[in-house]
Amino acid sequence: MAADRLDRIHIRDLLLRCFVGIRDWERREKQDVVINITLHADLARACRSDDFADTVDYVAIKKRVIGLVEDGRFDLVEALAQAVADTALEDERVQRVDVTVEKPGALRFARTVAVEITREQG
């Protein structure tokens, strides 16, 4: 299926804490991050069959992302976003993934800073 015609599964506003940042205090204290993930896949078979075996197991992906983030240490939000994307793409049904990682309070006078990336299989 053409990439622009893939279906989407959204995991929205996953609030987690991890070590992310380059400053000394950021390496000692976990920071809040908000992660949004869009999984692009062909869901036509699952739509017709109503069978769990025919869809993307987004619960399993969410659990792997939680483990990765909460146990991880990242200097850059960009590296965290890439690790989340890599985790989602471990499921061969996911053809493309969009990941946005927000770090609330990272900038004075701004509610949040976000990095958004898109990655594809292969």
Under 8 Å CB-to-CB from 11, ≥6 apart: which residues?
A: 35, 36, 37, 38, 39, 58, 61, 62, 65
The count of other CB atoms within 10 Å of the CB of residue 11 is 18
- Catalytic residue, candidates 30, 62, 63, 103: 103
Q: Please provide residue 108's backbone torsions phi and psi, each rounded to the nearest 5 degrees.
A: -60, 135
Q: Is 103 a catalytic residue?
A: yes
Give the integer Cα–Cα distance in Å for 17 and 118: 22
Length of the chain, in residues: 122
Catalogue the active-site residues.
Answer: 103
